[in-house]
Amino acid sequence: MALVLAILMTSLPARAASLALRYGQAFSAEESIYALPILVADREGFFAREGLAVSTVLVPGGGERMIAALEDGTVNLAHVATAFLVSADMKGADAVAIVDEFANPIYSLVAKPEIATFADLKGRTVGLAEEGGTVAYATRLLLARNGIGAGDFTARTVSGTPARIDCLKRGLCDAVPLGQPQDFVALGAGFRLLGRTDEAVPAFLYTVTAARRAWAEAHSDAVVRYVRALAAAFAFIHDRAQRTAVAGIVAEASGASTDAARRTLALYLEPDRKVLPRRAELDLAGLGQVIGFMAESRLLAPPLPPPERFADTRYVKAGAD
């Protein structure tokens, strides 16, 4: 019996790493908080426990390119902003959300030190994310709420927080929306916080892991195991006892200080602003809110599609059993 157990124990790691999955991620996400769930699932052994070897494939370009990487088989799974997923589906893409990654994102509108108020942005250049995405939409709402309309500033499209903070530092942008922890890094360098997008935008589902429907159905067991690993990662992130470990992962991935990483986690979790899912659940109501945003921006026309069209909840349900 002892010999049999020893053989089983030594054979498990080899089997655990036998199923390889390629996960697509934007270059901008690699150095930001948006890489956190995948990093935790990998470093804490949650993928290995599920018998998965998940490798990250960096995909250049915006949300459309991430969908294209799914379609052409470059990756099996991808980190995708929901607005781009909806838009791609409406154009005939076979992509579908299988699990939540981030909801209710908080983007800080950070400006040059001499810009003290929103009114000071009139006639200035604001670096926005890709039009059609929820970051640009949320930033415009924040500006409008504070008296700055579309005609009051010049919009410059700059994709990704790292590129936007560079635009700010080089003086090419007067203000930019920044994710975490880069916003805290910028504030520490003397730039000014004007406001945060969650002040102006209702709760919504920002990013998901997506897959091609056909691929997910053909590899349903692997998808369920991926969902379980991601759920374990979110539980780990929410565990206060693991706060130091999580902050260390954020700091290492982003190149920010541990203090900036801790402040990021405090912003999300003290109190819990529901930025991070508890167990990687699929928030269909939040996805419906994105569809509403897109309709307001005239990216979708009535009749509006139901959120269920863009998400397959079977894998989350199977992972919870």
Domains and CATH numbers, the chain: 12-103+204-320 (3.40.190.10), 108-199 (3.40.190.10)
Q: Give the pLDDT of residue 131.
A: 87
Evaluate whether 63 touches 84 at the Cβ level (below 8 Å): yes
255, amino acid identity: G
What's the confidence (pLDDT) of residue 18? Answer: 64
Tell me the C-alpha distance between 69 and 61, whole Å: 11
**Which pLDDT score is estimated for 199?**
93
Q: What is the pLDDT of residue 130?
A: 87
Indicate the SS3 state at residue 208: strand
In this structure, the number of other CB atoms found within 10 A of the CB of residue 247 comes to 22
Cα separation, 175 vs 117, whole angstroms = 11
| pLDDT at residue 146 in the model | 98
Instruction: Note down pLDDT in tens along the chain; length 321 residues.
Output: 333 333 333 333 334 446 999 999 998 888 889 999 999 999 999 999 999 999 999 998 777 899 999 999 999 999 999 999 999 999 999 999 999 999 989 999 999 999 999 999 999 999 999 888 899 999 999 999 999 999 999 999 998 898 999 999 999 999 999 999 999 999 999 999 999 999 999 889 999 999 999 999 999 999 999 999 999 999 999 999 999 999 999 999 899 999 999 999 999 999 999 999 998 899 999 999 999 999 999 999 999 999 999 999 999 999 887
**pLDDT the model gives residue 31:** 82
pLDDT digits (tens, 9 = 90+) for 213-235: 999 999 999 999 999 999 999 99
Planar angle of CA 20, 21, 22, nearest 5 degrees: 125
For 119-132, the DSSP string reads GGGTTSEEEE--TT
Say if CB 95 and CB 163 are below 8 A apart: no
- Tell me the C-alpha distance between 52 and 48, whole Å: 5
Q: Which DSSP string corresponds to 231-242? A: HHHHHHHH-GGG
